[in-house]
Amino acid sequence: VKNDNPTLRDVAALAGVSHQTVSRVINGEAHVSPETRSRVDTAIQTLHFRPNALARHLARGRSNLLAAIAPNLVDYTFASSQEGAEFEARKQGYYLVTSSAPTINDFEALIEQLIGHRRVDGVIVFNPYLDSRHTLLPGDIPMVFCGGREREDIPYCVYLDNFSGSMTAARHLIDLGHTRIGEVTGPLSEDCAQERHRGFEQALFMAKIEIEPGLTSEGDWSATSGHKIFQKWAEDRQIPTAVLVQNDRMAVGVLRAARDLGLKIPEQLSVIGFDDMPLAAYFDPPLTSMRQDTFGIGCEAARLLVRVIEAGNLPPQHIRFPAELVLRASTAPIERR
């Protein structure tokens, strides 16, 4: 008894044609007569035949699998980019293998497994860090890099324009009349934090506002770190009238620390975050923030990767995404005293 899944040859036998003709039919190739085609189609239906992807992949030398490697899956920005990448990949007939690689060692092991063994046709690398882990990739494997700035050294990348985004954020505070402006950065070992910092500097420089030493501090993206930094500023009796915080989680920490100190927001302190995470509107007060289209970034990355894979020789592409100011209640014009 044949209990297994039907193969091309079973279909061919039933339809009374060669297995090659069946192959032509399932691949929608020309040069098959309508009658033959329909006979084959019928056979496919009756046998519930579905081509075995593994065999197809081996024969074609391609797996139709993409990998998306990010430090983790739970940060909203990564999750949403991966969702975008998966969405687009599937549209194009590919599937997405998720791969969390917090450390560079994990990354290396993953690359070895996914690419060394030819499991995937290409990779999307989300690398917020400054390390150049992408250089661990064999040069000939299709790769799209998602980072925090333009990378001249990488042929294909999709990135958020953190520099301009941060300038916009800083300028918003400046436009509100603030001149004592603090900054809570992410780890400066990350591109994204550096870029946002550069944008901040640039905006203040252009407005001829001095950066107050002691009012730029480095956090770790966690709410707790934002909280601690603001407390420290208060202890040092250095309280700005506005703060640009490089992500919303830390901004929430700042909000809380400020309120614990009895500061009224936004009357006595304006706070602007970054990322516009889903609950930004639900903090107290609702958080002004910089929105980024993380889902779109993921989509573009996947679309580009598929083009790289299928085109063979695509000219370099650098796709930039802007960040957009979302006004809420945590920022306001400075009060005259």
Residue with tokens 């601690």: 228
**What burial class does residue 79 get, using C-beta atoms within 10 Å of its C-beta: 0-12 exposed, 13-18 middle, 19+ buried?**
middle
CB nearer to a copy of itself: pick between 217 and 222:
222
Q: Can you name the residues that pair with 144 across neighbouring β-strands?
A: 124
Binding of DNA by 114 (CB under 7 A): no
Among 14, 25, 114, 308, binds a copy of itself (CB under 8 A): 114
Start-to-end CA distance of the chain, whole Å, equals 91
Q: Among residue numbers 177 through 236, which ones bind DNA (CB under 7 A)? A: none
Instruction: Assess contact for 329 and 288: CB atoms under 8 A.
Output: yes
The answer to whether the CB of 298 falls within 8 A of the CB of 88 is yes
Element (H, E) at 173: helix 162-175
Measure the CA dihedral 89/90/93/98, to 10°: 60
Choice from 2, 3, 28, 30 touching DNA (CB under 7 A):
30
Q: Shortest distance, CB of residue 276 to a copy of itself, whole angstroms?
A: 13
64 is an interface residue for DNA by CB under 7 A: no
- Return the number of the residue (252 or 332) whose C-beta is nearest a copy of itself: 252
Neighbouring residues of 46: CB distance < 8 A, sequence distance ≥ 6: 14
- Establish if 141 lies at the interface with DNA (CB under 7 A): no
Residues found near a copy of itself in the complex (CB under 8 A)? 5, 50-55, 57-58, 61, 63, 65, 72-74, 76, 79-80, 82-83, 86-87, 90, 95-100, 112-114, 116-119, 223, 249, 252-253, 256, 259, 278-279, 281-284
Instruction: Kindly list the residues in this chain that would bind DNA in the complex (CB under 7 A).
Output: 4-5, 7-9, 16-21, 23-24, 26-27, 30-33, 35-37, 49, 51-52, 55-56, 58-61
